[in-house]
């Protein structure tokens, strides 16, 4: 999988959401805003309580033995390490495509195996949260979880291998291939579609840890979201937010979430704005090696984002000449609106998807137009209108509730 590193600020783990839908969901259209259940139902499924055993039993995931994964990764050899983080290490391995039996390196299919560090702070609850969410949700912009291992004290997860690694590596690792403007906008759009899927009316999952190291790239630079250990169900009924302990990564968390612990989908949208700004600037969200006043990217860049003449000061010099000023300003405007200090002024992820699609298709509108006012076509009704809220209705069943994590 790519690099799993990141400076997480975390309180003692008491509650991590791990509820997911009771059937599998597949996106119907390119936007990821309209989908159908693999069981053919478009009705909302009432929340039901699921125990740990039910989560594992109902999952369509492969249950691997520890011996299987030990063989697949050549005994977790150091030279097989793909990345490391708070959870533990991620190893490259090989299995047979049909039987899932370990094979020799270079044969079968490549997998990424995440092994829990038993002394780490991301414990069993986060491991179970990943099994719960990724074992049920299916979307082109979410990394595919193939299986898991639960044996004695061993906790492992088996994912599809993402050959291009993480967005973080491409943006910040020295010697790495520098993504072009076109590829950066492609990655931004793919990641936005993944979040839009999670935020859809009848899925309502808050990702809570959107950052460059959790955006992985396949061989064609298609973006997929990984690491659902901190994901949480969004508010239901007349609730406006979910109250939770503050967890995530410093530099990406929304200010109101840091201040109150009130979590909403708008928290993810702020994080998306930070990542989009990192992609535009080539700078990290937090970089203490920068000159004074430039350590926090959002604070430094914000004054330049609304000025068409000053925006060039923010943009990554490695992609100079690959975009028009109109395109750059439109992308900066999207980032700036996602970074609104007040959550109510941030767009929905559905609106962000539409704005990025326009940008990718070279449809650059009046730079003063807010992305909430972009004319759109509803994929379900075919009607054209002005999107003020996320009106594109999805047909996925509502994720089921779980008492494991409140």
Helix (H, G, I), strand (E, B) or coil at 223: strand
Rounded to 10 degrees, the C-alpha dihedral 240/246/248/254 comes to: 50
- DSSP letter for 102, please: B
Q: What is the C-alpha to C-alpha distance for residues 159 and 80, in angstroms, rounded to an integer?
A: 15
Is 114 flagged in the annotation as binding?
Answer: yes
- Show which residues are catalytic: 209
What is the C-alpha separation between 279 and 271, in angstroms, rounded? 13
**Inter-residue contact 390 to 349 (CB < 8 Å):** yes
Nearest to 262 by CA among 351, 194, 347, 343: 343
Nearest-angstrom CA–CA distance, 255 and 277: 16
Rounded CA-CA distance 390/260 in Å is 25
Q: Could you tell me if 247 and 302 are in contact, meaning their C-beta atoms sit under 8 angstroms apart?
A: no
Crossing angle between the packed helical segments 297-305 and 325-338, to the nearest 10 degrees: 130
CA dihedral 66, 68, 72, 74 (to 10 degrees): 60
Binding residues for ATP: 114
């Amino acid at each position: 999988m790519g690099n799993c590193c990141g400076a997480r600020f975390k309180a003692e783990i008491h509650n991590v959401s791990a509820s997911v839908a009771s059937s599998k969901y597949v996106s119907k259209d390119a936007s990821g805003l309209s989908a159908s259940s693999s069981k053919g139902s478009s009705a909302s499924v009432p929340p039901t309580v699921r125990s740990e055993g039910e989560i594992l039993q109902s999952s369509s995931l492969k249950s691997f033995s520890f011996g299987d994964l030990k063989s697949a990764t050549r005994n977790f050899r150091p030279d097989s390490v793909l990345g490391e983080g708070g959870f533990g290490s991620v190893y490259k391995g090989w299995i047979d495509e049909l039987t899932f039996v370990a094979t020799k390196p270079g044969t079968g299919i490549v997998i990424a195996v995440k092994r829990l560090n038993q002394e780490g702070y991301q414990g069993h609850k986060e491991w179970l949260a990943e099994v719960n969410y990724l074992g049920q949700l299916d979307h082109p912009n979410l990394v595919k979880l193939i299986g898991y291992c639960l044996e004695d004290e061993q906790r492992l997860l088996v994912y599809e291998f993402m050959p291009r690694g993480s967005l973080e590596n491409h943006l910040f690792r020295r010697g790495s291939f520098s993504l072009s403007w076109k590829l950066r906008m492609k990655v931004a759009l793919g990641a936005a579609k993944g979040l839009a899927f999670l935020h859809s009316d009848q899925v309502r999952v808050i990702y809570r840890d959107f950052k460059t190291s959790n955006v992985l790239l396949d061989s064609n630079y298609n973006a997929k979201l990984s690491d659902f250990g901190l994901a949480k169900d969004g508010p239901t009924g007349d609730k406006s937010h979910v109250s939770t302990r503050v967890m995530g990564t410093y530099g990406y968390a929304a200010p109101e979430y840091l201040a109150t612990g009130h979590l909403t989908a708008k928290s993810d949208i702020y994080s998306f704005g930070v990542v989009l700004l990192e992609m535009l600037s080539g700078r990290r969200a937090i970089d203490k090696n920068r000159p004074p006043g430039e350590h926090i990217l959002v604070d430094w860049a914000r004054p330049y984002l609304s000025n068409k003449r000053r925006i060039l000061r923010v943009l990554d010099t490695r992609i100079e000449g690959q975009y028009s000023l109109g395109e750059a300003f439109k992308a900066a405007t999207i980032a700036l609106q996602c970074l609104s200090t007040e959550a109510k002024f941030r767009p929905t992820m559905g609106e962000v998807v539409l704005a990025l699609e326009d940008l990718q298709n070279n449809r650059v509108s009046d730079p003063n137009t807010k992305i909430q006012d972009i004319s759109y076509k509803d994929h379900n009704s075919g009607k054209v209108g002005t999107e003020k809220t996320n009106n594109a209705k999805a047909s996925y069943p509502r994720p089921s509730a779980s008492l494991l994590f409140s």
